[in-house]
Amino acid sequence: MDELQLKELIRSFLSEMETETAQPIVPAGSLSDEESEESAGISYKTLPNSSASVIEDDMIPDITEVDIQEQFLIPNAINEEAYRKIKKFTPARLGLWRAGNRYKTETVLRFRADHAAAQDAVFSYVSEEFVKELGFIPVETCASSKDEYLTRPDLGRIFPEETQKFIKETCKPNQKVQVIVGDGLSSSAIEANAKDFLPALKQGLKMFGLDYNEVLFIKHARVGAMDQIGQLTGAEVVCMLVGERPGLVTAESMSVYLAYRPTVGMAEAKRTVVSNIQKGGTPAVEAGAYVAEIVKKILDNKKSGVDLK
């Protein structure tokens, strides 16, 4: 099947879907005879598979481009202005309305799209091109696959003996700062934020007379991987960028964990963390400058986590 035949098949399939959704299904008894489709919250033009939004230039409209905090679907709201003001303070799915006693079609599709994005972030990998572009040195934990990484968190915290030897030979020993990047639970977060974060971090550190050299990229990384890196390199501060567990609001949120002379088995309370680094939270550039200040504070006080006042 060539490309033209494939496109024609897609057009035919979408046309059939449009016909099937021409009349919405409303549970019996949920609407009175006098209620109109508009008052029931049914809007044909917003259905992604209706004629108003079928493919344009061979592309289906991307439903995820809609800003949920701007989207308001309740007809004839008593105080729409106040409702919209509340939505500005939260990415929660407020003001979605319904068709009969069900969610509207576009609401369901958006939920599924966001859920799919979260799954993709967990199960996909940071591209090799991205790692090469940023000049990272790639290494891998003892977890040999995504399935093993997810079911055996302990293997994502340690490295094979050959890798340990490679790290010791590659990284300059006893540095003030050792930066590492781990894919964690969201490869999307690393690709969305690392490129902007690292230059801001480097610039911020230079203001304090500090710098870092090699950046390790760890595949199948858990936060605890920074502990063994600390022991192998002897670095005073280990700064680890890692993808956060994705949710339905975003799959691109990154965290930065910092620890003073981390060791294997170190208490979690000894780590300092800056989370929610993403375009809807703390922008990557701003976070990079802020983390540089924290690194300086950790070095001055020779402590991190709850010990750092």
Annotated binding site: 223, 244
Query: Which tokens is 12 given?
Result: 């035919």
**DSSP annotation string for 47-107:** -TTSTTSS-BTTB---GGGS-TTT----TT-TTHHHHHHHHTT--S--S--EETTEE-HHH
Inter-residue contact 249 to 91 (CB < 8 Å): yes
Collapse the DSSP code of 3 into the 3-class scheme (helix H, G, I; strand E, B; otherwise coil) and give the result. helix
Residues annotated within a binding site for adenosylcob(III)alamin: 223, 244
In angstroms, the CA 260 to CA 277 distance is 21
Tell me if 218 sits within 8 A of 211, measured CB to CB. Answer: no
| Distance of alpha carbon 6 from alpha carbon 216, whole angstroms | 43
